[in-house]
């Protein structure tokens, strides 16, 4: 839809450049954008500004000549009847003004084809693996995980909507140090249950849930050496339930323990060794990550013979590619940013491109309660959990909240404020628009006909609402390019605003049939886009609230 006309306009500009004799091979791509200000046409290009230096002429002079060439090209093209004006404005922008018929036809596509009309195949079936959350099964999920879950799930939704074949994966650290410590923590609580006086080490897990697990282990007579696995399994069930309640489902839970058993780690080492990227020093085995731009080489087998965390992770990422994924996206916390170079080095060592892996750092959400920051410490069990946020704020509001900031930005979140202002949360603003539309549609005696005449929609608010609907596709593209779904939340607020403004000034029902019919179609189209956007966010689309 819009992509098509955008492409056609770019061809026109390009032809205009050719006519003016300014077309060159190595010129950067012609950009044709939606103007930031709606008064400046429907599409705009700054190509004349870019060219002015090279041509040693003032921008407006260049633009003036170019616009003449473009006009001549338009006369010869199929767009002749759709374009009302092309003119130079501002510093030297060339702005295109489209006939309203174009927008009416695009709206008609949305109401006749529904959500299908909003789809555009940017992914072409490319297989992408999104790994996120991947929290150790040693305690309930924190708000940091909650934000990752919201972002990862929504990004997955968006990517599948635009034609990618997406798998959501959770890497499960179900063995190693942390699991051992977890097991010993339970063991100590067991001793405590038997009446022994214990001293609880600083680095052990201290939350009350450990005591609950200890009681259950006692009932089931779990042997000491199995306590770690038992506790991890127990906690994993809790985590799965928390994610489920948050509306996040994973396609695959990838077990580190299974990976270790499979021999894939050793195979990966053998390949790296063959390629000359491993060496021994100080009794340890090192990966030569500096060959790919890392600051220093990294140990993968310690001098005591055990593996570092990096070892299985190298094999894990290699295995992702072996499973047929050509694009990997990892959502990591900011504590992992130093880890990016070494893991990218590893995929390059196996012959993949650095950009085949996109690492998105999801910044922390800092939680306040009554203005007081809550310090996070998993081991002491002092942290706000996903569960608490869900219970206090609800799924829809909390998902929207986690998504409404750029993922790379910090998020401050006072639980008390969020609760108190919950009716003023932006999610309600968007949902309210949807419910309002449903209410009008319910009360309408008139039905939307396929052959209705939309050209009666001439009011400013009507046209800007239609144009806003057509920006949906560009919004999804921004989410793709930035690997960040937050722009969708911004867009939906703008769309809701555009609708509310229309609603306030113009009545839908009770007009003559032609106008009521057209306006019903307009709000039906708005409902479709709102509903689609909310669905991608994983948020309810209430018909009443």
Residues numbered 317-356 forming contacts with RNA, rule: CB under 7 A: 334-339
355-394 binders of RNA (CB under 7 A): 361, 363-364, 366
Smallest distance, RNA to C-beta of residue 215, A: 26
The interface mask with RNA, positions 485-514, x = CB under 7 A, is: --x--x--x---x--xx-xxxxxxxx----
523-542 binders of RNA (CB under 7 A): 542
Smallest distance, RNA to C-beta of residue 460, A: 11
- Phi-psi map region of 405: left, alpha, beta (phi>0 left; psi -120 to 50 alpha): beta
134-163 binders of RNA (CB under 7 A): 136
**Closest by CA position to 1, among listed 123, 117, 161:** 117
Which is nearer to RNA, 117 or 310 (by Cβ)?
A: 310
Alpha carbon 230 to its chain's center: 34
Residue from the set 1, 6, 19, 40 that interacts with RNA by CB under 7 A: 40
The interface mask with RNA, positions 161-190, x = CB under 7 A, is: ------------x--xxx------------
54-73 binders of RNA (CB under 7 A): 59
Smallest distance, RNA to C-beta of residue 269, A: 15
Cα separation, 59 vs 233, whole angstroms: 67
Q: Does 18 bind RNA (CB under 7 A)?
A: no
DSSP 142: B
Provide the token pair at 191: 């001793």
Residue from the set 3, 7, 31, 377 that interacts with RNA by CB under 7 A: 31
Q: Does 91 bind RNA (CB under 7 A)?
A: yes
- Using the rule CB under 7 A, give the single segment among 141-149, 300-308, 388-396, 533-541 that binds RNA: 300-308
Residue from the set 1, 291, 440, 446 that interacts with RNA by CB under 7 A: 440
Q: Does 261 bind RNA (CB under 7 A)?
A: no
- Using the rule CB under 7 A, give the single segment among 5-13, 115-123, 215-223, 439-447 that binds RNA: 439-447
Residue from the set 16, 92, 139, 207 that interacts with RNA by CB under 7 A: 92
Smallest distance, RNA to C-beta of residue 127, A: 27
Which is nearer to RNA, 100 or 497 (by Cβ)?
A: 497
Q: Which residues pair with 130 in a beta bridge?
A: 168, 329
Q: Does 44 bind RNA (CB under 7 A)?
A: yes
DSSP 28: P
Cα separation, 481 vs 502, whole angstroms: 31
SS3 502: helix
Smallest distance, RNA to C-beta of residue 461, A: 9
- Using the rule CB under 7 A, give the single segment among 5-13, 41-49, 119-127, 189-197 that binds RNA: 41-49
Smallest distance, RNA to C-beta of residue 124, A: 22
Q: Does 438 bind RNA (CB under 7 A)?
A: yes
Smallest distance, RNA to C-beta of residue 84, A: 16
Which is nearer to RNA, 52 or 385 (by Cβ)?
A: 52
Helix axes 143-161, 486-505, angle to 10 degrees: 70
How long is the chain? 545
Cα separation, 519 vs 22, whole angstroms: 46
216-235 binders of RNA (CB under 7 A): none
**Closest by CA position to 475, among listed 462, 464, 486:** 486
Q: Does 4 bind RNA (CB under 7 A)?
A: no
Residue from the set 37, 199, 355, 450 that interacts with RNA by CB under 7 A: 37
Beta-carbon contacts of 32 under 8 Å, excluding residues fewer than 6 positions away, are: 6, 9, 10, 13, 43, 44, 45
Provide the token pair at 360: 């998105």
- Within a 10 A sphere around the Cβ of 37, how many other Cβ atoms? 8
Phi, psi of 491 (to 5 degrees): -60, -45
**Which helix (DSSP H) or strand (DSSP E) does residue 155 occupy?**
helix 143-161
**Closest by CA position to 248, among listed 473, 476, 402, 478:** 402
User: Helix/strand/coil (H, E, C) string of 83-117?
Assistant: EEEEEEECCCEEEEEECHHHHHHHHHHHHHHHHHH
Cα–Cα distance list, 464 to 109, 159, 514 (Å): 17, 27, 20
Q: Does 471 bind RNA (CB under 7 A)?
A: no
């Amino acid at each position: 839809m819009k992509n098509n006309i955008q492409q056609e306009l770019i061809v026109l500009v390009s032809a205009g450049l050719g006519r003016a004799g300014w077309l060159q091979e190595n010129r950067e791509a012609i950009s044709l954008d939606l103007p930031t200000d709606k008064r400046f046409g429907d599409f705009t290009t700054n190509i004349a500004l870019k060219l002015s230096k090279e041509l040693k002429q003032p921008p407006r002079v260049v633009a003036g000549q170019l616009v003449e060439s473009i006009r001549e090209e338009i006369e010869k093209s199929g767009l002749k009847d759709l374009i009302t004006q092309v003119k130079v404005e501002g510093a030297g922008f060339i702005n295109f003004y489209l006939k309203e018929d174009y927008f009416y036809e695009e709206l008609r596509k949305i109401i006749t084809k529904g959500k299908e009309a909003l789809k555009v195949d940017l992914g072409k079936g490319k297989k992408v693996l999104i790994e996120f959350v991947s929290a150790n099964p040693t305690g309930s999920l924190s708000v940091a995980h909650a934000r990752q879950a919201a972002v990862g799930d929504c990004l997955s939704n968006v990517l599948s909507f635009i034609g990618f074949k997406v798998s959501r994966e959770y890497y499960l650290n179900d063995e190693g140090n942390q699991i051992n410590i977890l097991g010993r923590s339970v063991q100590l609580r067991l001793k405590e249950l038997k009446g022994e006086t214990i001293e609880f080490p600083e680095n052990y897990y201290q939350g009350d849930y450990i005591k609950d697990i200890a009681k259950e282990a006692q009932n089931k007579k779990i042997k000491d050496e199995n306590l770690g696995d038992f506790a991890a399994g127990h906690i994993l069930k809790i985590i799965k339930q928390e994610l489920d309640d948050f509306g996040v489902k994973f396609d695959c839970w990838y077990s580190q323990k299974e990976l270790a058993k499979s021999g894939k780690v050793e195979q990966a080492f053998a390949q790296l060794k063959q390629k000359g990227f491993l060496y021994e020093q100080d009794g340890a085995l090192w990966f030569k990550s500096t060959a790919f731009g890392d600051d220093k080489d990294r140990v993968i087998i310690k001098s005591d013979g055990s593996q570092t965390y990096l070892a299985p992770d190298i094999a894990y990422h290699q295995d992702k590619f072996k499973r047929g994924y050509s694009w990997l996206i990892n959502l990591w916390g900011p504590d992992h940013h130093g880890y990016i170079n070494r893991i990218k080095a590893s995929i390059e060592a196996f012959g993949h491109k650095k950009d085949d892996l996109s690492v998105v750092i999801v910044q922390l959400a800092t939680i306040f309660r009554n203005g007081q920051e809550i310090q996070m410490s998993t081991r002491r069990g002092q942290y706000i959990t996903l569960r608490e946020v869900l219970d206090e704020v609800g799924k829809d509001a909390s998902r929207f909240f986690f998504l409404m900031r750029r993922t790379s930005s910090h998020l401050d979140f006072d639980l008390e404020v969020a609760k108190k202002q919950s009716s003023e949360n932006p999610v309600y603003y968007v949902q309210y628009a949807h419910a309002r539309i449903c209410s009008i549609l319910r009360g309408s005696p008139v039905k939307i006909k396929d052959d209705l005449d939309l050209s009666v929609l001439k009011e400013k608010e009507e046209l800007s609402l239609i144009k806003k609907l057509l920006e949906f596709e560009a919004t999804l593209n921004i989410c793709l390019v930035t690997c960040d779904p937050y722009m969708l939340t911004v867009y939906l607020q703008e769309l809701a605003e555009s609708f509310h403004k229309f609603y306030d000034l113009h009545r839908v029902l009770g007009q003559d049939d032609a106008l009521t019919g057209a306006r019903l179609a307009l709000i039906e189209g708005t409902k479709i886009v709102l509903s689609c956007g909310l669905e991608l966010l994983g948020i309810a689309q209430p018909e009443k609230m």
